[in-house]
Amino acid sequence: MDEIAIVGNGELKQADLTAIEQANLIVRFNSPPPSHIYAAAKTDILVLSNSSKQTSQLLGCSQYIKGPIFRQAKSLMLPYHPQIIAKYMPKPNPLSWLKGRRADLTQQCKDLASQHQKPCTTLSAEAYQKACQSLQIEGMGLRSRFPSSGLLAVRHIVDLHAKRSNIRLFGFGFQGWKRHDWSRERAYIENLAANQVLNLN
């Protein structure tokens, strides 16, 4: 059975690093902390949040583009479909917009992937909507609470690989942007672990 490691940006133990490197498929997110970056670090899928201020900054950062995580990533995954961004995601204020900040970074991410010859996929609008249903986000809450890229990636990997792979999560701290519902996301992931769909390290 294949081993899949989905690596959040929280704290990792030395044993975690060893287990991650032994996985057949390794998924990482955005800009991992320095403690995750080392000479042997592998990344099969790099998830770039294509509607975030952080990603806007990363796309213009040559140090990031030339660094080991992006350089060694075999492919990119964009968690937010443009239809979802247009319909639900917060828009930059006028000053930020004039400075070049955009809510939808999908095309910029695709252009970067193409420039560096990396396959790039975007998760469907339907996948996002199903994630919202799983977290009981509905009505007006759809414009104030948003599934995290971590949760969307986990759901995608589970849908594709759970029947034939051992999926392990590392470094998921369930904290960060205030508009992600971390308590519900934690409960959702812990339920998957309780039902032996994945292993939460």
pLDDT digits (tens, 9 = 90+) for 119-138: 999 999 999 999 999 999 99
Q: What pLDDT is attached to residue 46?
A: 97
Q: What pLDDT is attached to residue 41?
A: 76
pLDDT digits (tens, 9 = 90+) for 137-194: 999 999 999 999 999 999 999 999 999 999 999 999 999 999 999 999 999 999 999 9
Q: Mean of the per-residue pLDDT values for the chain?
A: 92
Fill in the amino acid letter for 42: K
Rounded (5°) CA angle 149-152-156: 135
Burial class (CB in 10 A: 0-12, 13-18, 19+), 30: middle
Q: What pLDDT is attached to residue 94?
A: 65
Residue 36 DSSP one-character state? G
Nearest to 151 by CA among 191, 112, 120: 191
Is 60 exceeded by the pLDDT of residue 39? no
pTM for this prediction: 0.94
